[in-house]
Amino acid sequence: EVQLVQSGAEVKKPGESLKISCRGSGYSFGAYWIGWVRQMPGKGLEWIGTIYPGDSDTRYSPSFQGQVTISVDRSISTAYLQWSSLKTSDTAMYYCARTHGHPDYWGQGTLVTVSS
Amino acid sequence: SYELTQPPSVSVSPGQTARITCSGDALPEHYTYWYQQKPGQVPVLVISKDSERPSGIPERFSGAGSGTTATLTISGVQAEDEADYYCQSADRSGIYVFGTGTKVTVL
pLDDT digits (tens), chain B, 107 positions = 889 999 999 999 999 999 999 999 999 999 999 999 999 999 999 999 999 999 999 999 999 998 999 999 999 999 999 999 999 999 888 899 999 999 999 99
- Rounded mean pLDDT of chain A? 97
Per-residue pLDDT at A37: 98
Average pLDDT over residues A79-92: 98
Interface with A, mutate which of B95, B96, B98, B104 (most A CBs under 10 A): B96
Strand partners, B34: B47, B87
Q: How far apart are CA A98 and CA A105, in angstroms?
A: 5
Pick from B42, B98, B99: which is nearest to A106 by CB? B42
Contacts of B31 in chain A (CB under 8 A): 101-102
Contact A62 B96 (CB under 8 A): no
Residue B101 DSSP SS3:
coil
Average pLDDT over residues A47-58: 95
Question: Is residue B91 within 8 Å of B37, Cβ to Cβ?
Answer: no
Residue A29 DSSP SS3:
helix
Q: Is A44 left (phi over 0), alpha (psi -120 to 50) or beta?
A: beta
Count of CB atoms situated within 10 Å of the CB of B101: 21
Q: Pick from B87, B75, B60, B66: which is nearest to B4 by CA?
A: B87
Contacts of A60 in chain B (CB under 8 A): 95
Pick from B33, B45, B100: which is nearest to A44 by CB? B100
Per-residue pLDDT at B92: 87
Contact A44 B42 (CB under 8 A): no
Residue B50 DSSP SS3:
coil
Per-residue pLDDT at B3: 92
pLDDT digits (tens, 9 = 90+) for A32-49: 999 999 999 999 999 999
